[in-house]
Structure 1
Amino acid sequence: MIRLLIADDQALVRGALAALLDLEQDIDVVAQVGRGDEVVEAVRASGATVALLDIEMPGIDGIAAAALVGAQLPECRVLMVTTFGRPGYLARAMQAGAAGFVVKDTPAAELADAVRRVSMGLRVVDLQLAAESLAQGDSPLTERETYVLAAARQGGSISDVARAVHLSQGTVRNHLSSAIGKTGGKNRADAVRVAEERGWL
């Protein structure tokens, strides 16, 4: 029996996924959470062997949660499921240790099969997303540029961003300028938009 945890911040979606997957004879939904920072404890408490994680959740996102599960509870396999089929998300999820990545409009039977395959130690990836990810390539942003650009999402002045990331204003300006150039954005807000659309943030 596959012991499944479902993490999604939308209660309706979470409930629907649980109801559908619980109909499968070999899948038992043992836990449901609505925040990324609740995943590790819920996996530990429920003994889940597969965690089905949404990407965009409060607390921490699903990719960060996948990395924590992999580091602390490697016996639990992670399958990412998201509404947003962004190629950059796929690369980041796999780097975080996820065993699979599917989009939410995957038919129920295929989703159940993906859970089974991940449980058996196989990798499962949405084919269209994989093709787009290969065509697009990896994020051109450095780790520091990504960090600064993510902080700039909140808006605010250069000094606000500098305080948030504990860097000098000059360093923040340089990283933002480089990120704007690499994304082809017209300005900071446009660079954030492009990076989000491609799943780099």
Structure 2
Amino acid sequence: MTEIYLAEDQQMLQSALAMLLNLEDDFKVVGCANNGKTALEDIIKLHPTVAVLDIEMPGLSGLEVAKQLRLRNLNIKIIILTTFARSRYFEDALAAKVNGYLLKDSPSESLINAIRTILLGNTVFDPKLVTSVLDTADNPLSKRELEILTALKEYPTTKELAKHLFLSEGTVRNYISSILSKTGTASRLEAINLAEKRHWI
């Protein structure tokens, strides 16, 4: 029997996934949590075969739980669930040596298939996440430029952005000019759309 622990902070999704997994004759959900701290404590105590972890949870994130489990050298298969194909999260998941990384909008049977594949010693990563990393590899922007581009979504004017970042308006204009030049875009909105499409921000 494959014992599975499920950590997901959205109660409806947690219940649905638990029900789905328990329908499999050889699967048994041995515990659930809606926060990372409880999940880590339970998993250490229960030592399930597989831990399915939501990437964003109160207390500790799924990635933080995964890292703690790896530090303890526990022989547990780890699958991360995420809503967004963010390359930074995916890179962190790889560093934490997770066995699977899936998007929540994948078909429900994808999780079941992923668990069975992982139990055979393989890894399972959603193709969209792999693509996001490849897109990020072509990112020409500096870390500071990415911060400014991200902040632009909430503070669209130069004056607002300068105040938010504690920079002069001239410095902000210089950064934005560099961003537009590097990305080959004609406007701030176009630069933001490009960066989001390629998962740079």
TM range (shorter): 0.5 to 0.7
Distance in 2 of aligned mates of 1:22 and 1:50: 14
Contact 1:3/1:27 (<8 A) preserved = yes
Q: Find the structure with the greater CA-based Rg.
A: 2
Counterparts of 1:153-192 in structure 2, within 5 Å, are 153-192=153-192
Contact 1:5/1:32 (<8 A) preserved = yes
Deviation at 1:150, TM superposition (A): 1.6
How many matched pairs? 184
The alpha-carbon distance between structure 1 residues 59 and 46, as it changes in their structure 2 partners (threshold 3 A), is closer
Contact 1:79/1:115 (<8 A) preserved = no
User: What residue is the counterpart of 1:138 in the other structure?
Assistant: 137
Contact 1:66/1:78 (<8 A) preserved = no
Contact 1:50/1:119 (<8 A) preserved = no
What letter matches 2:22 in structure 1?
A: D
Matched, 1:95 2:91: yes
Deviation at 1:52, TM superposition (A): 3.2
User: What residue is the counterpart of 1:47 in the other structure?
Assistant: 43
What SS does the corresponding residue of 2:53 show, helix, strand or coil?
strand
Distance in 1 of aligned mates of 2:109 and 2:190: 39
Deviation at 1:47, TM superposition (A): 1.8
Percent of counterpart pairs with the same letter?
29
The alpha-carbon distance between structure 1 residues 8 and 163, as it changes in their structure 2 partners (threshold 3 A), is farther
Q: Mind listing any 5+ residue stretches in structure 2 that lack a counterpart?
A: 45-49
Counterparts of 1:76-155 in structure 2, within 5 Å, are 77-82=78-83, 86=85, 89=86, 91-98=87-94, 99=98, 100-118=100-118, 122-127=122-127, 130=130, 132-133=131-132, 136=135, 138-140=137-139, 141-155=141-155
Contact 1:139/1:200 (<8 A) preserved = no
Deviation at 1:144, TM superposition (A): 1.8
Contact 1:162/1:168 (<8 A) preserved = yes
User: What residue is the counterpart of 2:5 in the other structure?
Assistant: 4
Contact 2:101/2:124 (<8 A) preserved = yes
Contact 2:9/2:57 (<8 A) preserved = no
Matched, 1:199 2:195: no
The alpha-carbon distance between structure 1 residues 156 and 136, as it changes in their structure 2 partners (threshold 3 A), is closer
What SS does the corresponding residue of 2:52 show, helix, strand or coil?
strand
Distance in 2 of aligned mates of 1:124 and 1:58: 22
The alignment yields a C-alpha RMSD, in angstroms, of 3.7
Q: Deviations over 1:81-117 (max 9, x none)?
A: 43x5x5xx2x323311253333345443331232355
